[in-house]
Amino acid sequence: MKVLLLRRQYLLILAALILAGGIFGVVSWPAAVSATAAQRQLPIYSVDRDQKICSISFDAAWGNEDTQALIDILGRYNVKATFFVVGDWAEKYPESAKALADAGHEVMSHSLHHDHYSSLTADQILADLAAANEKIRAATGATPTLIRCPYGEYDDHVISAIRSFGMEPIQWDVDVYHTTETPCGTTDCGD
């Protein structure tokens, strides 16, 4: 039987190497974890295009007093928009929902009651989507394929539920209510 005896100098070097390896492991741990973690699911924020274009959308969850004015203004400039409407809104104001569709605008879902989807189970989200889509279809004749989550809230389970239903979640990338700049970053977009 052999016994290995190390001098103090060699023990210090060995301890320093172990310590250096430990520090390296701790520092590189977040990178190793993020490299193996699943990618976060996101809604569509924007779509890359070669042309200089933008997509305009509106959310309709409460009153309808501005609906005809919006239709008229958009029509004056030959602009089509997407209106994300709550199912209860479409049921309460079917003539407004139909007027939007008849004017050539997309009428898509903004949920049934404007609930916080992040606090619902996947089954509750699916039931909400089905009920909202039915009310919107009844008013417009078309079943929505897109949804904007109420309050702009989502997480992985919300996005998974929506996509399992065959719909695509849409999110805004410029919020005119919360910015003083136009989408092009100035107060005047010009050419």
pLDDT at 185 over 70: no
pLDDT at 180 over 70: no
Tokens standing for 57?
Answer: 């959308």
Closest among 87, 41, 46 to 174, alpha carbons compared: 46
Tokens standing for 161?
Answer: 């539920």
Q: Are residues 27 and 72 in the same domain?
A: no
The pLDDT of residue 133: 98
Q: Are residues 78 and 15 in the same domain?
A: no
Q: Are residues 83 and 32 in the same domain?
A: no
Tokens standing for 11?
Answer: 């023990």
Q: Are 101 and 77 in contact (CB under 8 A)?
A: no
- In Å, the largest CA–CA distance within the chain is 97
Tokens standing for 5?
Answer: 């005896």
The pLDDT of residue 53: 83
Q: What is the pLDDT of residues 6-46, one digit of tens each?
A: 567 766 776 777 776 767 666 666 554 555 556 888 767 67
Q: Which domain holds residue 29?
A: 1-37
Q: For 17-167, where are the E strands, in sequence order?
A: 57-60, 82-85, 106-109, 146-147
Closest among 117, 62, 119 to 85, alpha carbons compared: 62
Q: Are residues 64 and 33 in the same domain?
A: no
Residue 7 included in any domain: yes
CB-based contacts of 154: which residues, under 8 Å, 6+ apart? 43, 117, 118, 169, 171
Helix (H) or strand (E) holding 46: none
Lowest mean pLDDT among 58-62, 66-70, 185-189: 185-189
Helix (H) or strand (E) holding 169: strand 168-169
Closest among 101, 56, 60, 103 to 82, alpha carbons compared: 56
The pLDDT of residue 188: 39
| Mean pLDDT across the chain | 83
The count of structural domains within the chain is 2
Q: Are residues 32 and 70 in the same domain?
A: no
Residue type, 157: H
CB-based contacts of 110: which residues, under 8 Å, 6+ apart? 59, 60, 61, 84, 85, 86, 89, 132, 147, 148, 150
pLDDT at 179 over 70: no
Residues 146-164 have a mean pLDDT of 93
Name beta bridge partners: 108.
Answer: 84
Q: Are residues 93 and 159 in the same domain?
A: yes
